[in-house]
Amino acid sequence: MYRKEIEEYIDSHIQEMVEDICVLCRINSEKMPAEEGMPYGRGAAEVLDAALKMAEGYGFAVKNYDNYVGTADLNDKERQLDILAHLDIVPAGEGWEVTSPFEPVLKDGRLYGRGTADDKGPAVAALYAMKAVKELGIPLKKNVRLIVGTDEECGSSDIAHYYKIEKEAPMTFSPDAEFPVINVEKGSLAAHFTADFAPSQGSAKLVSLDAGIKINVVPAKAYAAVKGLSMEVLEETAKQVEAQTGIRFSFSQEGENVKITAEGVNAHAAFPEGGNNALTGLVKYVTELPLADCGQLSCLKGLLNLIPHGDLYGEAMGIAMEDEISGKLTLAFSMLKVTEDKLDGQFDSRCPVCATEDNVLAVVKEKMAGAGLTLHNESMRPPHHVPGDGLFVQTLLKAYEEYTGRKGECLYTGGGTYVHELKNGVAFGASMPGTDNNMHGADEFAILQELAASAKIFAQVIVDLCS
């Protein structure tokens, strides 16, 4: 019901929707140090203000929850459906070619820019779905609320703040993944480990190593400084390791030290197979150099034995597992800082429904202790599962099938979304199956046709669930 009207409305407002997405994507809303009244920094507060002004301009009642979260309500009736999106972004990173990160551009049907796919574009698509229902005058018996947060990429403390104030709606979807419906999200172990050791007394030694920008991003670059080795040795070792790993190495002299830069390909930590980890490549490289034996080198070799380059599934760590509901465990070594007497690292493991603290956390703790490393975690994040045969999920699948002609089915993901802690929350859109939109990478893009289709599907869902 109302499909013809919904499609005509969205098709006639696509350019306007693109312009609104661009307004938000020009704002760098990466999490920054808190300022007074701005818990995630100025950029996050600015983008939230812009989004709420946009929604208010379209006639929705808006509310700002202390610059953590903002909401837009379609009407003043009882809430039936929440649409939960986010406006914060991962760091811009390097390697952009089509455009710069905060200068969105539409080219060949793709809207490029940081946040176009994750998750500003989908947030605006949801806003336009509500706008379509409102301006078409489609009668509703219940309310839908668009919720936009500003800390999804760094722990979702924003949404925790919101749910201390507001109750969860009976149904919630987040347009922060892909279609059809993701009703299972893996659990996770965001591992943090350290080690202390005596400084090396040798002439050939590692001075420092620094890699990673966020725990949920496979690093594309990693850096080290060494002393006491000839450039010939460094370059010859680089050739050997590059042939084995595909990681590229470059060198520059900085005083008595040589700076080493390792270059790979970044990816979301939930999907590490899409990248080539510069961090693990650099650790392999360093351990191949003729450095003097010391506690630092011993720790790095032990660490490499547990997380070797290319091991994406925890096999060397002894935690490889999978199940039919949620697939394989993945492991992405994403952060490491090494000085002459300390090591501090983090890895991001996405764990299937069959994972427990006994068969994952306890095993990692024991293996790391054996390598001279201390794991500081005492718990894991449990998985999330919403039954796929209920009214809510079936309604979403029906709308998806109606507007795309594709078969609707339930999927799982290693990525955690805002709905992970919600009783009846799933991820729904906004990219189509098989689309790789470089999420968290350079030249991130959203396909305009998919954003338009998402807006239509979301509008139909609002009508079906709230009429």
Nearest residue to 94 via CA among 264, 287, 249, 253: 264
Enumerate the β-bridge partners of residue 112.
105, 445
Whether 152 is catalytic: yes
* CA 204 to chain CA centroid, nearest Å: 39
How far apart (Å, rounded) are the C-alpha atoms in residues 334 and 440?
A: 13
Spatial contact of 226 and 234, defined as CB atoms under 8 Å apart: yes
The residue from 7, 119, 152, 178 that is catalytic is 152
Residues 6+ positions from 275 with CB-CB distance below 8 Å: 218, 220, 264, 265, 266, 267
The residue from 7, 20, 30, 88 that is catalytic is 88
How far apart (Å, rounded) are the C-alpha atoms in residues 155 and 77?
A: 31
Residue 291: both structure tokens together: 């450095």
Whether 108 is catalytic: no
CB neighbours of residue 107 within 10 Å:
10
HEC states along the chain? Answer: CCHHHHHHHHHHCHHHHHHHHHHHHCCCCECCCCECCECCCHHHHHHHHHHHHHHHHCCCEEEEECCCEEEEECCCCCEEEEEEEECCECCCCCCCCCCCCCCCEEECCEEECCCCCCCHHHHHHHHHHHHHHHHCCCCCCCEEEEEEECCHHHCCHHHHHHHHHCCCCCEEEECCEECCEEEEECEEEEEEEEEECCCCCCCCEEEEEEECCCCCEECCEEEEEEECCCHHHHHHHHHHHHHHHCCEEEEEEECCEEEEEEECECEECCCHHHCECHHHHHHHHHHHCCCCCCHHHHHHHHHHHHCCCCCCCCCCCCCCCEECCCEECEEEEEEEEECCCEEEEEEEEEECCCCCHHHHHHHHHHHHHHCCCEECCCCCECCEECCCCCHHHHHHHHHHHHHHCCCCCEEEECCCCHHHHCCCEEECCEECCCCCCCCCCCCCEEEHHHHHHHHHHHHHHHHHHHC
How far apart (Å, rounded) are the C-alpha atoms in residues 129 and 10?
A: 8
Sign of CA dihedral 109, 112, 117, 119: negative
Provide the annotated active-site residues.
Answer: 88, 152
